[in-house]
């Protein structure tokens, strides 16, 4: 699906420019802690058990409280574990966000296990679930770049490409925040997003 059918006629006259402006307004880069973000949804870099773990997953469950784990358990009872690249949605418990979307990033295996496709699926499937749940503002951590060992620059390129592609075909997501906890990721994203990254 392309963005074209959604745009008013006047925007079609300036199609490439319009895409640029839309991206400028819809993607932002944040240095900080995703658990503090007051948005419709934050994304968790979960593991397939959905039972919590370390890194951002640990922080989300710790600060969000037990309501998140309770919903995760119900999901696992219903569908089994969450496979790599897929996403599920729960309450955000005590977090300022409304929902947590849990997605399972790929463990880095030297690039031999379709990691880029799986990582792109994390972003795409999280955004699809967001749209289904009327989420219009969402934040992503740098999925797989912690414990799962994905090279940060490669992961960032895949993340930005997947989100940009999605936003071109969907106008209901108003804002995507890439939240970088560490300085290295922040600088990498700054370079990639470059001129169209704006402050939240
Ligand atoms: P994974 O297992 O997918 O690698 P991690 O949680 O280990 O998940 O790391 C993913 C990214 O999340 C890393 O870049 C890490 O620095 C970042 N991170 C850790 N804690 C937070 C947090 N509170 N807010 C945002 N990002 C975080």
Looking up residue 31, the CATH number of its domain turns out to be: 3.40.220.10
Lowest-confidence pick of 6-15, 35-44, 62-71, 166-175: 6-15
Task: Give yes or no for residue 13 having a pLDDT over 60.
Answer: no
* Within a domain: 8: no
What does pLDDT average to over the chain?
A: 89
**Could you tell me if residue 91 is inside a domain?**
yes
Average pLDDT over residues 100-120: 98
Rounded average pLDDT over 70-92: 98
What's the rounded Cα separation, in Å, for the pair 197 and 189? 9
pLDDT, residue 25, reads 81
Q: Tell me: the pLDDT tens digits for 169-190? A: 999 999 999 999 999 999 999 9
Is residue 27 included in any domain, yes or no?
A: yes
Mean pLDDT of 117-141: 98
- 3-class secondary structure, 40: coil
Question: Is residue 4 assigned to a domain?
Answer: no
In-domain check, residue 77: yes
Of the candidates 79, 82, 78, the one whose C-alpha atom is nearest the C-alpha of residue 57 is: 82
Q: Based on the structure, what is the number of domains in the chain? A: 1
Can you tell me the distance from the alpha carbon of 132 to that of 129, in angstroms, rounded to the nearest whole number?
5
Measured CA to CA, the distance from residue 6 to residue 12 in angstroms comes to 10
Note the pLDDT of residue 24.
63
Q: How far does the centroid of ligand 1 lie from the alpha carbon of residue 7, in Å?
A: 36
Q: Tell me the chain's radius of gyration from C-alpha atoms.
A: 16
Asked if residue 46 belongs to a domain, the reply is yes
In a domain, 178, yes or no: yes
pLDDT confidence of residue 199 = 43
Verify whether residue 57 is a known catalytic residue: yes
The pLDDT tens digits of the residues spanning 144-161 come to 999 999 999 999 999 999
Residue 85 pLDDT more than 90? yes
Pocket probe mutation, ligand 1, options 103, 141, 147, 149, max atoms within 8 Å of Cβ: 141
Tell me the CA end-to-end span of the chain in Å, nearest whole number.
Answer: 28
Query: Does 123 fall in a domain?
Result: yes
Give yes or no for residue 145 CB within 6 A of ligand 1: yes
| Domain range enclosing 149 | 19-194
* 135 and 124 Cβ atoms separated by less than 8 Å: no
Q: Which helix (H) or strand (E) holds 120?
A: helix 115-132
What is the rounded (10 degree) CA torsion for 14, 156, 173, 137? -130
In this prediction, residues 8-33 reach a mean pLDDT of: 65
Pocket test for ligand 1, best of 45, 58, 64, 147 (most atoms within 8 A of CB): 45
Residue whose CA is closest, atom 21 of ligand 1? 56
């Amino acid at each position: 699906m392309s963005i074209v059918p959604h745009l008013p006629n006047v925007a079609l006259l300036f199609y490439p420019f319009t895409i640029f402006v839309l991206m400028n307004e819809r993607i932002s880069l944040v240095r900080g802690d995703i658990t503090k973000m007051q948005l419709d949804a934050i994304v968790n870099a979960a593991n397939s058990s959905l039972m919590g773990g370390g890194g951002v997953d640990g922080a989300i469950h710790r600060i969000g409280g037990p309501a998140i784990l309770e919903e995760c358990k119900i999901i696992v009872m219903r569908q089994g574990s969450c496979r790599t690249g897929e996403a599920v949605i729960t309450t955000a418990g005590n977090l300022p966000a409304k929902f947590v979307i849990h997605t399972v990033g790929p463990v880095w295996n030297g690039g031999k296990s379709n990691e880029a496709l799986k990582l792109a699926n994390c972003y795409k499937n999280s955004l699809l679930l967001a749209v289904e749940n009327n989420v219009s503002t969402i934040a992503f951590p740098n999925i797989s770049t912690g414990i799962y060992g994905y090279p940060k620059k490669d992961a960032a390129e895949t993340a930005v490409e997947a989100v940009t592609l999605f936003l071109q075909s969907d106008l209901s997501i108003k804002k995507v925040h890439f939240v970088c906890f560490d300085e290295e990721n922040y600088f990498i994203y700054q370079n990639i997003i470059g001129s169209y990254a704006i402050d939240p």
